[in-house]
Amino acid sequence: MKKFIAYYRVSTKEQGISGLGLQSQKDSILKYIKSTSGVLVESFTDIKSGSDNNRENLNKAIIACQTNKATLIVKKLDRLSRSGFKIAVRLEDLGVSYIESDSPNDNELLKNLKLAIAKDERQKISERTKAALKVKKEQGFKLGSPNNLTNEGRRKGALSMRFKKQLNQNNRRASSYAKVLREKGFTLQSIADDLNENGFLTSRGYKFNSIQISRLLN
């Protein structure tokens, strides 16, 4: 019996709460799994933009695939990423196979073509946004938040920079610690567990997982 790990993503907090878009993803994935007489081992959901690659639950889904020797399943490939071929290469390097429940018969060429189109779409959106902001600026509009110019705004900015600096320093210490544990024969997941238990955080302020430990060591 083939095993699957489902991954769902919606773009905004509102969609995550209301279920807009989420239910259609679940319906498509569950329908395909049922048609193959497969089993859904676990599912993960992120409420993130497709351009945001810092997705904790996607990392968990990938780890679950490795642990259970399961296939990662999504409704459409753009649920994984809009960063083009990077996600496909990453999954391949990690030994994780994936399938699109809306188009389960696509070969690798079609999968890569869809990822390339998603990347192009993201780039065009970015270019249109920059062009619109440029026009507004030329028309005399002041861009940015005026609150940032107040004393309170400056204080918040200074605190934010200080926090980021502390996280970066913490990340460097975590890297050194991880290397020592690895030399002692610890697995990637056991290193992640050890770092989390001792209060270490990633440079973005999240807990560690085995994938992030691998990045630290490299």
Residues 94, 38: one domain? yes
Residues 7, 96: one domain? yes
Residues 107, 155: one domain? no
Beta carbons within 10 angstroms of residue 51's beta carbon = 12
Residues 154, 69: one domain? no
Residues 7, 108: one domain? yes
Is the pTM higher than 0.75? The answer reads no
Q: Decide if 121 is inside a domain.
A: no
Q: Which of 60-74, 93-107, 167-181 has the lowest mean pLDDT?
A: 167-181
- Local confidence band at 163 (pLDDT 50, 70, 90 cut-offs): very low
Residues 39, 104: one domain? yes
Indicate whether 191 pLDDT > 70. Answer: yes
Instruction: Find out whether 81 and 59 touch, Cβ atoms under 8 Å.
Output: no
Identify the domain containing residue 38 by its residue range: 3-112
pLDDT of 15: 62
What CATH number is attached to the domain comprising 37? Answer: 3.40.50.1390
Residues 190, 108: one domain? no
Q: What is the DSSP letter of 12?
A: S
Indicate whether 72 pLDDT > 90. Answer: yes
Residues 92, 160: one domain? no
Q: Decide if 164 is inside a domain.
A: yes
3-state secondary structure labels for all residues of 36-105: CCCEEEEEEEEECCCCCCCCHHHHHHHHHHHHHCCEEEECCHHHCCCCCHHHHHHHHHCCCCEEECCCCC
**39-47: strand order across its sheet:** 39-47, 3-10, 71-74, 98-100
Residues 104, 151: one domain? no
Q: What total number of domains does the chain contain?
A: 2
Q: Decide if 140 is inside a domain.
A: no
